[in-house]
Amino acid sequence: MTVTVPWPNEASPGLRPFQISVPGGWTAIEPPGALIAFLGPERAGFRPNVVVFGERLPEDLPLGDVAEQVLLDLGADSILRPVAPDDPVAIREATVTVEGRGCRHLVLVAGQPDLSAGGLRTVHILLGTQLAGAPDVLPDIFSSFSCE
C-alpha cells in the first residue's frame, strides 16, 4: 500500500515564511545555497548585499554560536558581541578584508518557535556585507525582517 505524504508536514514542518524590506534600487536574486539575496546599487566598485539562508537546526544550539560560526567561516579575526540577550535573535558583527577592501559583515540569526517532534526549529540567517565606512544600510534592512 502506498501512502502519499505532503510536505511540509508535522514530522518535517519546513521553513517558516518571512518578509524583509530593502531600499529602493536594490535587486533580488536567487543564489545557490541560499533562499534569496539582495544587491544594493554599486558604490566604489562594490555592491552592498544581504543574503538570507534558512535551516532547521536543533533547539539547543545557541543562536549566538550560529552567528559567530558564520563570521569565523568568512575569515573574521574578531567578532563584536552585543550585550543584549540572544533570544529570539542573535546579532554579531565583524570587519574583514574582501578582495583587498575593508568590509563590514553583519549577521542576524533568528530562531522560530516551530519546534518539530525531532527537536528542530526554523532558523533564518541574514548575512549583510558592505564596505567599511560606507553609509550604514544594514540595520534598517535587518530590523525589517519578520516571520509569519
- pLDDT tens digits, one per residue of 65-77: 999 999 999 999 8
pLDDT confidence bin for 138, thresholds 50/70/90 = very high
Rounded Cα–Cα distance for residues 63 and 108 (Å):
9
Give the CA distances from residue 52 to residues 39, 44, 63, in Å, rounded to whole numbers and listed in that order: 12, 24, 15
Which comes out higher in pLDDT, residue 3 or 109? 109
User: Which class for 113: exposed (0-12), middle (13-18), buried (19 or more C-beta within 10 A)?
Assistant: exposed
Domain 22-147 has CATH 3.40.50.720: no
Q: What is the pLDDT of residue 136?
A: 92
pLDDT confidence bin for 83, thresholds 50/70/90 = low
What residues does each domain of the chain span? 22-147
Short-list 49, 84, 42, CA closest to 63: 84
What would the pLDDT profile of 10-50 be if each residue is shown by its tens digit?
888 889 999 999 999 999 999 999 999 999 999 889 999 99
Helix locations, the chain, DSSP H: 63-73, 138-143
